[in-house]
Amino acid sequence: MYHAKIRDRYSTMIEYENEPFLQGIFIDIFPMDILSKNMKKAKKELLLSIILYMMRYWMRASDRWYFLLVKRSLYFMGKLIPKALIDRKIQKMKRRHILEKESHISYGLDSFLLAIFQYSDLFPLKTMEFEGHIFPVPAKPENILKVQFGKNYMEPPPESKRKPHAQSIDPFHGHGHKENLDWESRMA
């Protein structure tokens, strides 16, 4: 999945053990792509991009055996097709549409996130204050949150259904990676 993580080098947040990269607390940054103005076509484009993505990239195991079977089957089918051909198809899909007020927008077509937004939910951006800082936000953040998390996005799920991303979090100490920084040296 193509996305970025901005990581805090003073902290530790272990998602998966034994990863060779810096594992500080992070913020995910996801690219967005333009889809068809027609919702039916936009859904087809998104589905095709997900199939191509699964053919191109090995996926971590899923909670459900049938998702795992589909993902791994598509990945092995993708081994029969040159990766460059799959990549070109994804890139062609990304350049197909021009951003207009009637456009549908999704997370990057080379990601694995199922969400389609209306142009008017995202643009024009506005600003909001958070923790004493001003940040750009979507025009209608409540609509984005509803698409992403459902109409009850302000209610946390029951504790039994929560799935934390981290195995452990330590906001004040790095885990020994060469790029970690140390709070004590920062305060000196």
Rounded CA-CA distance 42/29 in Å is 22
Tens digit of each residue's pLDDT (9 = 90 or more) over 130-155: 889 999 999 999 999 999 889 999 99
pLDDT score, position 155: 93
How many alpha carbons lie under 13 Å from residue 11 in its C-beta half-sphere? Answer: 15
Contacts of residue 71, defined as CB under 8 A and 6 or more positions apart, other chains included, come to 54, 59, 62
Percent residues over pLDDT 90 in the chain: 18
Q: Is the per-residue pLDDT at 82 higher than 70?
A: yes
Full DSSP string of 14-34? ESSTT-SS----EEEE--EEE
Q: Is the per-residue pLDDT at 58 higher than 80?
A: no
Element counts in the chain: helices (H) and strands (E): 6, 9
Span 46-72, mean pLDDT? 71
Query: Which residue do the tokens 């140390």 mark?
Result: 182
Span 23-45, mean pLDDT? 86
Identify residue 134 by its one-letter amino acid code.
I
Span 104-129, mean pLDDT? 86
Rounded CA-CA distance 120/122 in Å is 5
pLDDT score, position 1: 47
The phi and psi torsions of 27 (rounded to 5 degrees) equal -120, 130
pLDDT score, position 61: 52
Mean pLDDT over all residues of the chain?
81
Identify residue 179 by its one-letter amino acid code.
E
pLDDT score, position 118: 92
Q: Are 74 and 9 in contact (CB under 8 A)?
A: no
Q: Is the per-residue pLDDT at 81 higher than 50?
A: yes
Tens digit of each residue's pLDDT (9 = 90 or more) over 118-133: 999 999 999 999 889 9
pLDDT score, position 166: 82
Query: Which residue do the tokens 């993505």 mark?
Result: 53
User: Which residue, 47, 66, 49, is CA-closest to 57?
Assistant: 49
